[in-house]
Amino acid sequence: MNTFVCGKCGYVAFDVAPDFCPVCWAKKEAFKLDSAAIKSPGGVQTGELEKKHIPQIKITKTCGLVGPGCVDANIKIGEILHPMEAKHYITHIDIYLNRAFIARYHLTPEKLNPALGIHLKVDAGKLLVLQNCNLHGRWVTETEI
């Protein structure tokens, strides 16, 4: 799969570069093909690096906040929770539905857990979560809603 990275904000597009970046509105020319943009787990026996970076997704079909028609996706970064310290933290979490961008969540260190709850208006499709660690790069998980 081809991945194109926005040179301005680090947004990753799948398959083709968009006319405009949906995060920072940079033009298509700002995107560069980078097939190594996303880290992949190193085999069946994943180590501590993978356990601290691969997003975990929990889908709940009945939302307690918005009501009927809302599907919750609770996301945390790492089976072992990733650090959120000034020198090492998760900078943002990008959310895609069927590989189309729907949201970016910016994080700051110290006061936040590397976790997020989102409320979807759809009850089917593939949810992809991409997180960026300031030291260890981008990691992805994709799951069926």
Q: How far is the CB of 86 from Fe ion (least distance, A)?
A: 13
Read off the DSSP letter of residue 122: -
Read off the DSSP letter of residue 54: S
- Which of residues 9, 136, 137, 141 is near Fe ion by CB under 5 A? 136
Q: SS3 helix, strand, coil % of the chain, rounded to 5?
A: 5, 45, 50
Q: How far is the CB of 94 from Fe ion (least distance, A)?
A: 16
Q: How far is the CB of 91 from Fe ion (least distance, A)?
A: 10
From CA 16, how far away is CA 21, in angstroms rounded?
Answer: 12
**Binding piece for Fe ion, criterion CB under 5 A, among 12-20, 63-71, 115-123, 129-137:** 129-137
- How far is C-alpha 24 from the chain's CA centre? 16
3-state SS class at 29: helix
Read off the DSSP letter of residue 52: H
Q: Binding string, 8-47, against Fe ion, x = CB under 5 A?
A: ----------------------------------------
- Which of residues 23, 30, 133, 140 is near Fe ion by CB under 5 A? 133
- Contact set with Fe ion (CB under 5 A): 133, 135-136
